[in-house]
Amino acid sequence: MNAKKKVAFYTLGCKLNFSETSTIARQFVNEGFDRVDFTESADIYVVNTCSVTENADKRFKSIVKQAQKNNADAFIAAVGCYAQLKPEALANVHGVDLVLGATEKFKITDYLNDLTKNDFGEVHSCQIEDADFYVGSYAVGDRTRAFLKVQDGCDYKCTYCTIPLARGISRSDTMSNVLANAKEISSQDIKEIVLTGVNIGDYGKGEFGNKKHEHTFLDLVTELDKVEGIERLRISSIEPNLLKNETIDLVSKSRAFVPHFHIPLQSGSNEILKKMKRRYLREVYVDRVTKIKEVMPHACIGVDVIVGFPGETDELFLETYHFLSTLDISYLHVFTYSERDNTEAANMQDVVPKNVRSKRSKMLRGLSVKKRRAFYESQINSTRSVLFESENKEGYIHGFTENYVKVKAPWNPELINQIHQVQLTKIDDDGLVRFNFK
């Protein structure tokens, strides 16, 4: 390959996608490519796709158009979840030259014999049953934090979800490789690592190519807590039925793990949870939140919730709304249900009209604002540690406390990638918290 060729990347979707994009990008750099920003002219544009929301699908075409504006002759490749689920649809998008599925994306440079534009996108997409091996990844998005992939795939059969179809069975990185990656990240003066995967609480399954657990998620966090040089470790989304008391207790006493949990709920109605084929009822969720707050009263708890699932009547939605209102949580990520091909829910009766879904989404987003404000107010006058980020936003520098309170201060580049003890003082009009240095 010509050493002067330039490659650019665009990532849709989750932290896991970002970690995998970084790994793919490093392959290109190792083969002599120069990585440039997606807004610049490049010889190759790689778009890592997402299938979780309808909006992510629609954005793909606009991203391809953006690449074509930057360089009309550029070679454009689509990889990732949507590329696995709908390869032909992406191949038919004007300007797309190559589409790679779940396993092929990690061998992308093998498919680049030349960079001649194709009349139609060339598809290489495996049967998802063949996606049974593990590729370790981590993303260094900025100087302050990294996303470390520890697990991939999912064996759950939630009726609304395409992820098992897009990523295959649950499988894990080896403990030794996770620890090696963590040490490699810490050597780059990165202060925080966020653990990511599709279903990270299932860690250990498939670690050595078999279905049994050689290690557990508790084993993983116990060992990561011992890695020197990592100042903060953060657990990303973890299923409530897989978040064990032992893990919560470890975080409460941990050297590096921070008191922040993101726990998907999806519905506060047991009737809807059963239709979704979730592996818990809401009583389990209450138990997890109660346990966390018992040992870490200052902990931040984020919640995923889906509105407008088939069969969600006004009464069942209000059941969810009131359940969340009374729960000691800190913020919501609200998803409006959208039908996905080849899922059980797509064929269910009692479809909720889209305007009703939108109204319910707006109600829960409003509740999230209230929850976050109440959580922030509960932290005023407390002393916290803040990791400052690198971006200058309208004359301010921002950062997050260990328990995920977002703070602001007048721009000072000397604070970038530094952790400081502060006293939280007041909430500004924009909902961010001001502070005094300790």
In the chain, where the domains are located: 6-126, 131-258, 383-437
Q: CA 336, CA 360: separation in Å to the nearest integer?
A: 8
* Count of all residues that appear for the chain in the document: 438
Rounded to whole angstroms, how far apart are CA atoms 168 and 164?
A: 5
Measured CA to CA, the distance from residue 319 to residue 307 in angstroms comes to: 12
Mean pLDDT along residues 256-264: 98
**Cα(180)–Cα(231) distance, rounded to whole angstroms?**
16
What is the spatial distance between Cα 63 and Cα 83, in angstroms, rounded to a whole number? Answer: 14
Q: Render pLDDT for 303-313 as a digit per residue (tens, 0 to 9).
A: 999 999 999 99
What one-letter code names the amino acid at 364?
Answer: L
| 170 close to 153: Cβ distance less than 8 angstroms | yes
Multiple choice CATH, 6-126, 3.90.550.10, 1.10.3720.10, 3.40.50.12160, 2.60.120.10 = 3.40.50.12160
Q: What is the pLDDT of residue 143?
A: 67
User: Mind listing the pLDDT tens digit for each residue in 90-117?
Assistant: 999 999 999 998 888 989 998 887 777 7
Distance, in Å, from the CA atom of 145 to the CA atom of 76, rounded to the nearest integer, reads 29
Q: Residue 52 pLDDT more than 80?
A: no
The pLDDT score that the predictor gives to residue 131 is: 62
* 9 within 8 A of 48, measured Cβ to Cβ: yes
Nearest to 134 by CA among 51, 3, 19, 232: 19
Distance CA 320, CA 335 (A): 13
pLDDT value at residue 216? 96
User: Is residue 1 predicted with pLDDT exceeding 50?
Assistant: no
Per-residue CA distances from 351 to 39, 229, 278, 307, 357 (Å): 40, 51, 19, 12, 10
Q: What is the DSSP letter of 207?
A: T
Counts of helices then strands in the chain (DSSP H, E): 12, 20
Radius of gyration of the chain (CA): 22
Per CATH, which fold does 131-258 belong to? Transcription Regulator spoIIAA (3.30.750)
Stretch (H or E) spanning 191: none
User: Which of these ranges, 183-187, 264-268, 401-405, has the smallest mean pLDDT?
Assistant: 183-187
Q: Residue 168: is its pLDDT beyond 70?
A: yes
| pTM of the predicted protein model | 0.90
Q: What is the pLDDT of residue 54?
A: 65
Q: How far apart are the first and last CA of the chain?
A: 54
Secondary structure of residue 28 in the 3-state scheme: helix
